[in-house]
Amino acid sequence: MLDTPLARRVLLKAGGALVVTFGFAPRALDAQTARSTDKTLSADEVGGFIAIDGQGQVTLYSGKVELGTGVFTAITQIAAEELSVPLARVRTIQGDTQLTPDQGPTYASLSIQNGGTQIRRAAATAREALLDQAAGRLGVTKAELVARDGSVAVRDGSGSLSYAELVGGRQLTMKMNLAAPLKDPKVYTIVGTAVPRLDIPAKVFGTFNFVHDVKLPGMLHARMVHPGGAKAKLVSFSDAACRKIPGYLRAVRQGDFLAVVATNEWAAIRASGVIVAKWSDWAGLPEQAQLFEYVRNSKVDRSDVFQSSGDSAEALKRAGKTLQATYQLAMNTHGSIGPSCAVADFKKGQLTVWTPSQASHLLRLQLATMLQLKPENVRCIYVEGAGCYGRNGSDDCSSEAALISKAMGKPVRLQWMRQDEHGWDPKGPPVLMDYRAGVDAEGHIAAWESDIFMPERPMRRSGVTLLAAELADLPKFGPPTAPLHNIGLGVPYSLPNNKLTAHWLVDTPLPAAWIRAPGRMQNTFGNESFLDEIAAATGVDPFEIRLRYLKDPRGLELLERLRQFAKWQPRGATPRDGGPVARGRGVSYCKYELVRTYVGVVADVTVERKSSQIKVERVWVVHDCGQIINPDGLRNQIEGNVVQTVSRSLIEELTFSRSAVTSLNWGSYPILTFPNVPEVFIELIDRPAELLWGAGEPTTSVIPSAIANAVFDATGARLRSVPFRPATVLTALAAVPR
Amino acid sequence: MAMATTIKLTVNGKPQTLQVDDPSMPLLYALRDELGLHGFHFGCGLAQCGACTVHYYGEALRSCVMPVSAVAGAEIVTLEGLGTPDKPHPLQQAFIDEQAAQCGYCINGMIMQAAAFLRTTKRPTEDQVRQALAGNLCKCGTHVRILRAVMRAAEKMA
């Protein structure tokens, strides 16, 4: 099995290209190497993920990438642990379509859960093969051997062979063995420990190479001139003024695609400021004030029942008391702190793109379709950008860089300006939800119905259409009927007559994409707010009502621990503070997608009545994602989920005219700042013997409802529209019966 | 075509001479594209986020909006010049100790802003640190750790 010679020269050439990308940089791939190296990309072969060289150095090829979430370190930990090599002996290469297997995009909190599990199996298979090999060579049984510290040793100390000696520069061509025994978590020394993140030192010393720092010889600089209206057409342009700028080369136009190119970055920026472009009048967006009427009246493509028990319609009719409520969440931008950037090199029918995409393999197919190339003639190499929190402008910027490079016949660096990122990243779409419940004479929930209205397109696995393909009217990848992600909508409780229907909308006001916990955050906001409303209406403590309908032992344990951790005091439904600053607490819980990570939070808020300002003072989190890989990395993620979602809950809202996005910078799209950041307290439940689940999103899901429930507790005002800006809060306060 | 302008300044202790086509070009591009430094980043180009912060005679300066001509002759220090792995600034060490980064794109601004602040304010309260960093944006939500790191460094530097 270990007998195919490793094509080290080819591999090192390809791998080496990655480390000299900055400052000098590789030539674009020539036709031969672009087609293939001898390294397999198969996710069914160990060699797809792992190589061990003649010095025993391990190279890990990860399709999942570091987006600022700690995945790079965690996945390296998983591989080192399962292979029994020191962490320092593993070098990880991520998201290169020529080197790393396609493990799917880095999204949906699946990097550790799916990507890590795949890599763990590859490492276990490799370790078992090394043990077999050693048993043969040492003339002992496998049971007498132990793998440790990069060697296989006989337990009695009578002999050992290093991995370098065993592999001897050959590829690990064995198939993944799903039955390969996994290490007992009890003997873990790397997984489960707070290994410091491998990327942080370079980030604090200023030596880290972001995609913004990629340089190629002869590289040109470009800036986009995006349309004046979301779907405006380019009527004409004049770059006469640009020609006076030293270094300016030319404009690139294709349909409604317009870019300026220069030999240096500042010249490109200046040119983008003085070019005169005439765009057609277009005013197809709804009035912002009528956004949710627009959503309500949008064409429904299809409706899917996601959760159903009993007969909710009949039970609603019979219920003595009914409640109903509508919840809505505004549009968001991803708001990456660094705008998208990419470097593209199109040469002789071959395209190489250095990209911060979450999905280099998907982007490769999209770019190949757009430029009518064979996928094997496109290589996407992941390089970190600023945090993206979903499908931000990265892929669009990459597509635009590719088109400009093709037009110029030279490598091109395109960086978006702030208004491009705020204006042209695909948006987190508006979501609307209707809830109805029936309560019986004993105050128990007898019926529960929810309808969620959200766009379907960003939930499809074919991805979001590339902006360059849209603007230049080039071929677009992906059948519109590609399968949907199963995002596990529904309530995590056992309710007798329960139905959730998702209504997939054809249109969105602006192109839509996923932002952290898409659909789940919205659905959980509705679920947990409405449950809180029922608790208040029936005079039950918010914790009690959750415990009453929760049948899942892990969920029950988590809620119980949260109750103690946050020192929750039972209470009735009456607001408890009428002063100028009202204080309250709210709770929210979810089991992510109903099948994985459990998380519960308590939020403490203050509401200043005079200004209608909410401040989230403290957030208490209890989190169970099964086996924890890196507890400090996990805490970092949970803190980030909390703070970012407090920002989305209280402040963030895209604004737009009938023509275009108007919240084009941090002045018009403010986010939470230091003075208003809550304290965060976290209790982790570690279950080393259980499956490992994701943590990138679940905590996001519970934040808006915890805040809304706390505001209700403080004031009696019910917030049903995110974000909870002062005007929304004032309106809700005014509606409180006196 | 206009003649290039010569601008001299000191960056991280080294005298530098730049030839720029446009003296109104922001310092950011001079440092990144002419001198090859990249510890600081373009974030907004509007002095709203702080990702581009450098030190101008020890004070925090947003390099994305400051014309390079306006800092002619000045002493500029970037994150690369603040400290090194061998000789880290206490803030850099504290950010590592607290693991205070997610994507890390804003971290330059956090460290540089905090370094300028801690030069003049010894033993600040956490509220003072919050106020000092109020104009620095982070979208990952790393604030909790950044505050801890700055407080830790302040302790060391007091």
For residue range A148-201, list pLDDT tens digits in order.
Answer: 999 999 999 999 999 999 997 788 999 999 999 999 999 999 999 999 999 999
**B44/A673 touch (CB, cutoff 8 Å), yes or no:** no
Supply the pLDDT for residue A571. Answer: 77
Q: What is the mean pLDDT of residues A321-350?
A: 98
Q: Where are the alpha helices (DSSP H) in A275-357?
A: 291-296, 312-318
Residues in chain A with CB shorter than 8 Å from the CB of B98 are none
**A643/B22 touch (CB, cutoff 8 Å), yes or no:** no
Three-state DSSP at A555 gives helix
Q: What is the mean pLDDT of residues A660-664?
A: 98
ipTM of the complex: 0.98
Residues in chain B with CB shorter than 8 Å from the CB of A244 are 1
In SS3 terms, A617-661 reads as EEEEEEEECECCCCHHHHHHHHHHHHHHHHHHHHCCCCCECCCCE
Q: Where are the alpha helices (DSSP H) in A467-616?
A: 467-471, 520-538, 542-549, 553-565
**A204/B147 touch (CB, cutoff 8 Å), yes or no:** no
**A647/B85 touch (CB, cutoff 8 Å), yes or no:** no
Supply the pLDDT for residue A570. Answer: 86
Residues in chain B with CB shorter than 8 Å from the CB of A633 are 99
Which residue of A lies nearest to B103 if distances are taken between CA atoms? A68
**A68/B108 touch (CB, cutoff 8 Å), yes or no:** no
**Residue B116 contacts A, CB cutoff 8 Å:** no
Q: Compute how many other C-beta atoms are within 10 angstroms of the C-beta atom of residue A191.
A: 23
For residue A10, pLDDT over 60 is answered with no
Q: What is the mean pLDDT of residues A621-628?
A: 98
The enclosing H or E element of A200 equals: helix A200-205
The enclosing H or E element of A424 equals: helix A418-424
**Residue A24 contacts B, CB cutoff 8 Å:** no
Residues in chain B with CB shorter than 8 Å from the CB of A639 are 141-142, 144-145
**B139/A265 touch (CB, cutoff 8 Å), yes or no:** no
How many Å apart are CA A227 and CA A224, to the nearest integer? 9
Nearest-CA distance A703 → chain B (Å): 13
For residue B47, pLDDT over 50 is answered with yes
Q: What is the mean pLDDT of residues A123-133?
A: 96
**A674/B129 touch (CB, cutoff 8 Å), yes or no:** yes
The enclosing H or E element of A684 equals: strand A679-684
**B46/A213 touch (CB, cutoff 8 Å), yes or no:** no
**B111/A338 touch (CB, cutoff 8 Å), yes or no:** no
What number of C-beta contacts closer than 8 Å exist between A and B?
A: 192
Nearest-CA distance A267 → chain B (Å): 9
Domains in chain A, please, with CATH? 8-205 (3.30.365.10), 211-281+334-420 (3.30.365.10), 431-734 (3.30.365.10)
Which residue of A lies nearest to B23 if distances are taken between CA atoms? A266
Restricting to A residues 666-705, those with a Cβ less than 8 Å away from any Cβ of B are 666-667, 671-675, 677, 679-680
Instruction: Give the one of A206, A267, A636 whose C-beta lies nearest to B38's C-beta.
Output: A206
**Residue A428 contacts B, CB cutoff 8 Å:** no
**Residue A217 contacts B, CB cutoff 8 Å:** no
Select from A21, A193, A205, A415 the residue whose CB has the most chain B CBs within 10 Å, as the one to mutate to test that interface: A205
Q: What is the mean pLDDT of residues B92-103?
A: 98
Supply the pLDDT for residue A23. Answer: 24
**Residue A69 contacts B, CB cutoff 8 Å:** yes
Closest CA to A49 of A127, A118, A107, A3: A118
**B139/A337 touch (CB, cutoff 8 Å), yes or no:** yes
CA A697 to chain centre: 7
User: Using an 8 Å Cβ cutoff, are B111 and B80 in contact?
Assistant: no
Strand partners, A602: A587, A620
Give pTM, 2 decimals: 0.95
User: Using an 8 Å Cβ cutoff, are A376 and A34 in contact?
Assistant: yes
**B102/A642 touch (CB, cutoff 8 Å), yes or no:** no
**pLDDT bucket at A84, cuts 50 / 70 / 90:** very high
Percent of chain A with pLDDT over 90: 89
For residue A19, pLDDT over 80 is answered with no
Supply the pLDDT for residue A28. Answer: 34
Query: Mind listing the pLDDT tens digit for each residue in A525-563?
Result: 999 999 999 999 999 999 999 999 999 999 999 999 999
**Residue A193 contacts B, CB cutoff 8 Å:** no
Percent of chain A with pLDDT over 70: 94
Which residue of A lies nearest to B36 if distances are taken between CA atoms? A23
**Residue B85 contacts A, CB cutoff 8 Å:** yes
The enclosing H or E element of A344 equals: strand A341-347
Query: Mind listing the pLDDT tens digit for each residue in A437-473?
Result: 999 999 999 999 999 999 987 777 778 999 999 999 9
In SS3 terms, B12-69 reads as CCEEEEEEECCCCCEHHHHHHHHCCCCCCCCCCCCCCCCCCEEEECCEEEECCCCEHH
**B140/A203 touch (CB, cutoff 8 Å), yes or no:** no
Q: Compute how many other C-beta atoms are within 10 angstroms of the C-beta atom of residue A310.
A: 15
**pLDDT bucket at B135, cuts 50 / 70 / 90:** very high
Residues 6+ apart with CB under 8 A from A538: A439, A443, A545
How many Å apart are CA A231 and CA B18, to the nearest integer? 42
Beta strand segments in A96-255, E: 145-148, 151-154, 160-162, 220-224, 234-238, 248-254
**B48/A207 touch (CB, cutoff 8 Å), yes or no:** no
Which residue of B lies nearest to A209 if distances are taken between CA atoms? B38
How many Å apart are CA A228 and CA A258, to the nearest integer? 11
How many Å apart are CA A282 and CA A445, to the nearest integer? 49
For residue A503, pLDDT over 70 is answered with yes
How many Å apart are CA A655 and CA A647, to the nearest integer? 16
The 10 Å CB-count burial string (b at 16+, else e) for A344-354 is: bbbbeebbbbb
Residues in chain A with CB shorter than 8 Å from the CB of B82 are 206
For residue A31, pLDDT over 90 is answered with no
Closest CA to B85 of A632, A207, A195: A207
Domains in chain B, please, with CATH? 5-81 (3.10.20.30), 83-157 (1.10.150.120)
Cis omega (within 30 of 0) for bond into A480 = no
Strand partners, A324: A436
User: Using an 8 Å Cβ cutoff, are A649 and A704 in contact?
Assistant: yes
What would you measure as the largest C-alpha separation in chain B, in angstroms? 54
The enclosing H or E element of A435 equals: strand A431-439
Three-state DSSP at A721 gives strand
The enclosing H or E element of A325 equals: strand A321-329
- DSSP class of residue A116 equals I
Residues in chain A with CB shorter than 8 Å from the CB of B36 are 23
Query: Mind listing the pLDDT tens digit for each residue in A571-619?
Result: 754 556 678 999 999 999 999 999 999 999 999 999 999 999 999 999 9
**A665/B48 touch (CB, cutoff 8 Å), yes or no:** yes
**Residue A201 contacts B, CB cutoff 8 Å:** yes
**Residue B126 contacts A, CB cutoff 8 Å:** no
Instruction: Give the one of A338, A639, A672 whose C-beta lies nearest to B43's C-beta.
Output: A338
How many Å apart are CA A454 and CA A306, to the nearest integer? 14
**Residue B21 contacts A, CB cutoff 8 Å:** yes
- pLDDT, mean over chain A: 93
Which residue of B lies nearest to A356 if distances are taken between CA atoms? B103
Closest CA to A471 of A388, A404, A408: A404
Q: Write the CA distances from A525 to A118, A697, A735, integer angstroms.
A: 33, 14, 20
Supply the pLDDT for residue A484. Answer: 75
In SS3 terms, A47-115 reads as HHHEEECCCCCEEEEECCCCCCCCHHHHHHHHHHHHHCCCHHHEEEEECECCCCCCCCCCCCCCHHHHH
**Residue A720 contacts B, CB cutoff 8 Å:** no
What would you measure as the largest C-alpha separation in chain A, in angstroms? 86
Kindly compute the dihedral angle of the four CA atoms of residues A428, A636, A200, A89, in this order, to the nearest 10 degrees. Answer: -110
How many Å apart are CA A194 and CA A688, to the nearest integer? 14
Restricting to A residues 597-636, those with a Cβ less than 8 Å away from any Cβ of B are 632-633, 636
**B139/A667 touch (CB, cutoff 8 Å), yes or no:** no
What is the pairing mode between strands B5-11 and B75-77?
parallel
For residue A35, pLDDT over 70 is answered with no
Residues 6+ apart with CB under 8 A from A243: none
Residue A235 identity (one-letter amino acid):
V
Instruction: Give the one of A206, A245, A639 whose C-beta lies nearest to B108's C-beta.
Output: A206
CA A317 to chain centre: 41
Residues 6+ apart with CB under 8 A from B125: none
Instruction: Give the one of B21, B42, B82 whose C-beta lies nearest to A246's C-beta.
Output: B21
